[in-house]
Amino acid sequence: MIFNYLKFVMIVSSLLVYGCASSPPIHYYLLDTGNSSQTTSQTSGNQNKVIGIGPVRFPDYLDRPQIIIRSSGNELILSDTHRWAEPLEENFTRVLAEHFSRLLNTSAIRIEPSRNRTSLDLRITVDIVRFDADEYGDIQLVSYWRVENPDGSQRIPQHRSSIQVTGNTNSNYPVIVRGMSDAISQLAAEISGELAE
């Protein structure tokens, strides 16, 4: 009886070890600025201004480490093996700020809230509505953004932005993340273009 019990425990332990050994690896990703070919704005007049980026607010469904694919309809598929290396909101905001620094030709960019107490000349706030890929690899970035003066009044009234980066049926997770990075680049170009007018 004891022998049979020990034999059972050994078999279960072996199965558990085998199961753990065969688990698929987890892949981690970061958004980045890529090899952006965007040119700096020559007419914006914002080079000497201190620009605050944020807050950038995300919907709750994106507040998770798993990368999300939107299937047909409204179903969301969360990948357990393809994940963000840090909170998506923080990664997105940092990449957006880097694009603004390049586009506006300034290093006076502050991610808000900032520990630096330098007063701002203007603040760009963004509310993300949607930021995901569908089953065909198409990226959708939908957001509302506005630009505020130091006193909180609107310098540029709220705009709705809808950006799509086309994928294909062969899109894998690295390609999807690259497309999402491209979408942020396009959003930054759209906002900085309004600042230049």
Question: Tokens 């959708």 map to which residue?
Answer: 140
- How do beta strands 66-70 and 76-84 pair? antiparallel
8 Å CB contact between 119 and 152: no
Model pLDDT, residue 21: 54
The C-alpha atoms of residue 18 and residue 3 are separated, in whole angstroms, by: 23
Q: How far is CA 36 from CA 63, 78, 154, in A?
A: 27, 29, 29
Which stretches of the chain are assigned E, i.e. beta strand?
A: 27-29, 51-57, 66-70, 76-84, 109-111, 122-134, 139-148, 154-165
Asked if the model's pLDDT at residue 40 lies above 70, the reply is no
In the chain, what are the domain boundaries?
25-196
Which residues pair with residue 28 across a beta bridge? 83
Protein fold of 25-196: Rossmann fold (3.40.50)
- Lowest mean pLDDT segment, chosen from 4-13, 29-38, 81-90, 115-124: 4-13
What are the pLDDT digits (tens) for 116-156?
656 889 999 999 999 999 988 999 999 999 999 988 889 99
> Alpha carbon 171 to chain centroid distance?
18
What are the pLDDT digits (tens) for 80-102?
999 999 999 999 999 999 999 99
Confidence of residue 43 (pLDDT cuts 50, 70, 90): very low
pTM: 0.83
> What integer best gives the mean pLDDT of the chain?
85
Model pLDDT, residue 148: 93
Cα angle vertex 119, ends 114, 121, to 5°? 110
